[in-house]
């Protein structure tokens, strides 16, 4: 099979779909890998590294997209829609629920599209979302601390505090992968940390891991509102696989939150869990509503692309090999977890949660 690796064109997206180690695994099995010139340069993998792994370096995006299977990081951008076609299999993050335009382009093209974020594992987890969620969770506290600085427009609060001065309060909505990693960094900084979730087992796990260091609270409308009002940094870390994120923070609540507090809405890929959230970019990451700074970068791990690309490839490699060795139909038929990744096929949305989220669009 011919596998294409185009260069990512989303704003400030430096990751690459396949690193040379993954290319080597594919070429060792007899597959042809077409890597667009410069696709991995931003993460330190030059064309020579790909050539040494057996790849063919192609001069432009159309050549890479001309492969049978295209492996990317981010969803196809509008400039890439013309490359979609019926005999193409696309494997990447799609996040279709808040993006009807992309969903229509994929369906109209007749291509087959599998989404990293809906592939499952035997435990019901999302193994291809988890590594990037871990990166985004850890980054959320890091970037939140930065935007809390007075020079950036924030409250001027040091999350860890100092002797004699209280620590800042980090409130995390969601105790999944993003939330647990955000809690780890916040605890490490010495912040006051509160995590809210619907799942008592998740809260119990955090309580065992950080006894006395993390306040765990069952999420209700009342508790979400109460702790949002106390937050210096609020991290949105909720996820409903394949579906739009629930809007947990309403517009009217913002005016009552602390002036100069920061919201980092990691759920922005699925539409955001804050009513006033909208996607931003690394080039222009924040905006202010009612005195509250909003950070809504939709590809946070793209800021640390070398770490992210390696972590993502560790997770995606077995599935890419299966798709290349067997073709998507056999691979999906034999692996029910990969089958959950199938979002678009035969001109229609086939993942139930994605289809439900986009119904009427």
User: What residues contact 224, with CB distance under 8 A and at least 6 apart?
Assistant: 173, 196, 248, 249
The two three-digit tokens of residue 196, written as one number: 């809210």
Please tell me the distance from the alpha carbon of residue 217 to that of residue 219, in angstroms, as a whole number: 6
95 assigned to active site = yes
Q: Which helix (H) or strand (E) holds 42?
A: none
Mention every residue, 6+ apart, whose C-beta is less than 8 A from residue 354: 96, 97, 103, 115, 118, 242, 243, 343
Residue written as token pair 């939140």: 144
Catalytic, out of 31, 269, 294, 335: 269
The strands making up 56-58's β-sheet, listed across from edge to edge, are: 56-58, 32-36, 2-5, 69-71, 89-92, 112-115, 342-345, 348-349
Give Cβ neighbours of residue 38 (< 8 Å, ≥ 6 apart).
7, 47
- The Cα 149–Cα 252 span in angstroms is 25
Q: What's 90's DSSP letter?
A: E
337 in active site: no
Residue 351 CB burial class (10 angstroms; 0-12, 13-18, ≥19):
buried
Q: How far is CA 289 from CA 143, 256, 257, 277, 300, in A?
A: 18, 12, 11, 9, 21
CA separation for the pair 28, 44 (Å, rounded): 23
User: Which residue out of 31, 95, 181, 351 is catalytically annotated?
Assistant: 95
User: Which sequence positions are flagged as catalytic?
Assistant: 95, 269
């Amino acid at each position: 099979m011919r596998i294409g690796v185009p260069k990512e064109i989303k704003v400030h997206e430096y990751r690459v779909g396949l690193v040379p180690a993954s290319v080597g695994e594919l070429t060792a099995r007899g597959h042809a890998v077409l890597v667009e010139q410069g696709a991995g340069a931003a993460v330190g993998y030059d064309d020579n590294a790909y050539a040494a792994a057996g790849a063919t370096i192609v001069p432009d995006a159309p050549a890479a997209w001309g492969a049978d299977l295209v492996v990317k990081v981010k969803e196809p951008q509008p400039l890439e829609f013309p490359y979609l076609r019926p005999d193409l299999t696309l494997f990447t993050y799609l996040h279709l629920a808040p993006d009807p335009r992309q969903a229509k382009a994929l369906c109209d093209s007749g291509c087959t599209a599998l989404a990293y974020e809906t592939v499952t594992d035997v435990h019901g987890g999302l193994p291809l979302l988890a590594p990037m969620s871990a990166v985004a969770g850890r980054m959320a506290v890091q970037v939140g601390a930065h935007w809390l600085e007075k020079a950036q427009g924030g409250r001027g609060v040091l999350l860890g505090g100092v002797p004699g001065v209280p620590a800042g309060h980090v409130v995390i909505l969601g105790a999944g992968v993003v939330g647990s990693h955000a809690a780890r960094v916040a605890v490490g900084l010495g912040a006051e940390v509160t995590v809210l979730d619907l799942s008592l087992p998740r809260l119990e796990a955090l309580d065992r891991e950080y006894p006395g260091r993390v306040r765990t609270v069952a999420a209700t409308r009342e508790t979400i509102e109460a702790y949002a009002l106390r937050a210096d940094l609020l991290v949105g870390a909720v996820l409903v696989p394949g579906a739009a994120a629930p809007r947990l923070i309403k517009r009217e609540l913002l005016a009552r939150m602390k002036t100069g507090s920061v919201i980092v809405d990691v759920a922005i890929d699925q539409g955001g869990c804050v009513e006033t959230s909208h996607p931003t970019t690394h080039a222009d990451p924040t905006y202010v509503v009612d005195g509250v700074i909003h950070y809504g970068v939709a590809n946070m791990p793209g800021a640390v692309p070398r770490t992210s690309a390696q972590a993502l490839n560790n997770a995606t490699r077995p599935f890419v090999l299966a798709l290349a060795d067997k073709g998507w139909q056999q691979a999906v038929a034999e692996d029910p977890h990969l089958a959950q990744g199938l979002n678009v096929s035969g001109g229609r949305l086939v993942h139930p949660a994605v289809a439900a989220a986009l119904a009427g669009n």
